[in-house]
Amino acid sequence: MTDRRDDAPVSTAKHGDAADLTTATLAEGKGGSVAGRSVTINRPASELYGYFRDFTNLPHFMENVVSIDVRDATVSHWVVKAPAGATVEWDARITQEQPDRLIEWTSEPGADVANSGRIEFRDAGARGTVVTATIAYDPPGGAIGKLIAKMFQREPAIQARRDLRRFKQLMETGEIATPAMNPKQFEEMGL
Amino acid sequence: MKALAWHGKHDVRIDTVDDPEIVNPRDCIIKVTSTAICGSDLHLYDGYIPTMQAGDILGHEFMGEVVEVGAKSTLKKGQRVVVPFTIACGSCYHCNKHQYSACPNGLPADNQDIAQELYGHEMSGLFGYSHMTGGYAGGQAEYVRVPFSDVGPIVIPDGVADDKVLFLSDILPTGWQAAEYAQIEPGDTVAVWGCGPVGLFAVQSAFLMGAERVIAIDHFPHRLELAKKFGAETINFEESATYEALMEMTGGIGPDAVIDAVGLEAHGMFVDNIIDQIKASTFLGTDRPHSIRQAIIACRKGGRVSMPAVYGGFVDKFPLGAFMEKGLTLKTGQTHVQHYMPALLNAIMEDKIDTEFLISHRMPLTDAPKGYDLFKNHQNETTKIVLKPGMTAA
């Protein structure tokens, strides 16, 4: 691990140590690739945290999440779409949480995609709340798997960016933007 | 329902498609009573705008009667409304600053990637204007689904004719914003490139904002006549040398503010323009920006440049040196329509702004393909075409 050279988030690092730098800051970090993205949402941190912390809400704006079963206070089971009609599953365990501020998680042993990460909610005054998602993960099938995932737009970096935009839309407007002409088309198009 | 659909360059057709339905709680459905063909629709017609798909329904200037409302719409069935072409939520950071065309919440998350790659940021969703702006079905149709109907559409009082208020949807606020961005001071001379609808509304607006003189530049005699009717002096660039004329008409100072209301499909046989055309046709450059170059060169030192004209991509030979050395200020952007609608509706009701003069043709929706051809190929006489879905074909 090299020393940080500037104040930019590690997810924007040009050199290969971003994943190491990220996982080192997590309670139980794992994963060789990292995706990070921030979005400013014009709602209070408590409201955003509250909605997010109820994981059963997440499929409302996370397009690739098929289902999340909450097992107990810290463990939930995730089923997520993968390229070519497949799904991947894992148990996620919360490793750290601070109400209205932060949630960290890590996947349990046996995960199809080992991953860990953090979602932060920082008060931004009149602009609302800056929400930052950082996800470290081991893409199935290594580099080629990542390329395939990108082709199918199931790559975590692309998904995180789009999911955060939908989270913003849902929290700020109460709905998710769609050009669908009718509810049936909306269903077919996905989120 | 019937709707005007894009099928390719210079190929638009009347298709029969499913009626739209309420999808989100803040939606409404309107039955279109009047819808116009915009100059920027010609950019789609001419194939300049990427991310179009066959079957896309066009039209972003429209009004009509509310026929269905979602659970959270504040409109009532039967109300007549004009719909802003920019789809904005009314509650985000940008909407709170009245920068409606910068609202990211009307643009579907997946579509935001394209604009973010091209422009660095996503913009608002637009009706009937490619998938980069959301892929929303437009208003050149019998019915339209209107998102955020609780904050976007403006209700029109009974007894006020469609033709008087239709242009609140785009071109009147666009012309007004163009004049506002020129930061006109009393005694100013303002030069306007392009006497299309936006340019003509910019001429009217500039006078209302205190300009002493407005100089309108075009090559269509009929359009220059209309500008003259509102008190503008005119330059026909096929008859006179524009830069030289502007200098002589302003005693060598140059116009205090310049407005480019032409945009990416500039006409005229100028050397840089011909190079631009070759580049555009070989995909080496997407925009043909003669008018903005000329406006910057003509503008007086310390003057203001306002650019309502639509540009989509990259340009070269932009006179950055002149822009810097003369200390100019440039303001531009898609129109924050919702911000201007209420005041402009009042101005129309008080007869301060004339809108109906612009309409040269009224035709049934089913004649829209003919309308596009007319607007494209007979620009001198065709100032504005209004399509009326309720009108029966002659």
Q: What is the pLDDT of residues A97-114, one digit of tens each?
A: 999 999 999 999 999 889
Strand partners, B8: B11
What is the assigned CATH class of domain B172-332? alpha beta
Any domain includes A10: no
pLDDT band at A191 (very low <50, low <70, confident <90, very high): confident
Q: Is the pLDDT of residue B177 over 90?
A: yes
Domain with CATH 3.90.180.10 in chain B: 2-170+335-388
- Tally of structural domains, chain A: 1
Stretch B295-300: mean pLDDT, rounded? Answer: 97
Which amino acid type is present at position B274? I
**Consecutive H or E run containing A46:** helix A45-53
Domain contains A105 = yes
| Confidence category of residue A1, pLDDT binned at 50, 70, 90 | very low
Give the strand order in the sheet containing A33-41: A33-41, A129-137, A115-123, A102-107, A87-98, A75-81, A65-70
Chain B nearest-CA distance from A188, in A, is: 13
Does some domain include residue A55? Answer: yes
* Calpha distance B280→B269 (Å, rounded): 15
A35 falls within a domain? yes
Nearest to A110, CA basis, from A85, A78, A135: A78
Where do we find the tokens 């200020």? B329
Give the DSSP H/E element, type plus range, for residue A142. helix A142-151
Q: Which range has the worst mean pLDDT, A135-149, A151-165, B188-202, B262-276?
A: B262-276
Task: Name the range with the highest mean pLDDT among A23-32, B155-164, B285-294.
Answer: B155-164
Residue ranges of chain B that CATH labels 3.40.50.720: 172-332
Confidence band for B269, pLDDT divided at 50, 70 and 90: very low
Residue B28, min C-alpha distance to chain A (Å): 12
Q: Which domain holds residue A99?
A: 18-177
A155 lies in some domain: yes
Which residue in the set A128, A162, A182 is minimally distant from B110, CB to CB?
A: A162
Tell which of A175, A176, A185, A188 to mutate to test the B interface (max B CBs under 10 Å): A175
Residue A1 lies inside a defined structural domain of this protein: no
Alpha-carbon distance of B364 to B84, in angstroms, equals: 22
The interface predicted TM-score (ipTM) is 0.89
Q: Cα(A127)–Cα(B154) distance, rounded to whole angstroms?
A: 27
**Residue A137: CATH number of its domain:** 3.30.530.20
Least confident of B151-155, B276-280, B384-388: B276-280
Average pLDDT, chain B: 92
The CATH H-level (homologous superfamily) assignment of domain B2-170+335-388 is Medium-chain alcohol dehydrogenases, catalytic domain (3.90.180.10)
Residues 6+ apart with CB under 8 A from B120: none
Contact B109 A127 (CB under 8 A): no
Pairwise CA distance, residues B1 & B7, whole Å: 18
Band (B284; pLDDT cuts 50, 70, 90): low
What does pTM read for this prediction? 0.91
Residue B218's pLDDT is: 95
- Cα distance from N-terminal residue to C-terminal residue, chain A: 39
In this predicted model, what pLDDT tens digit does every residue of B41-86 receive, in sequence order?
Answer: 998 998 878 889 999 999 999 999 999 999 999 999 999 999 999 9
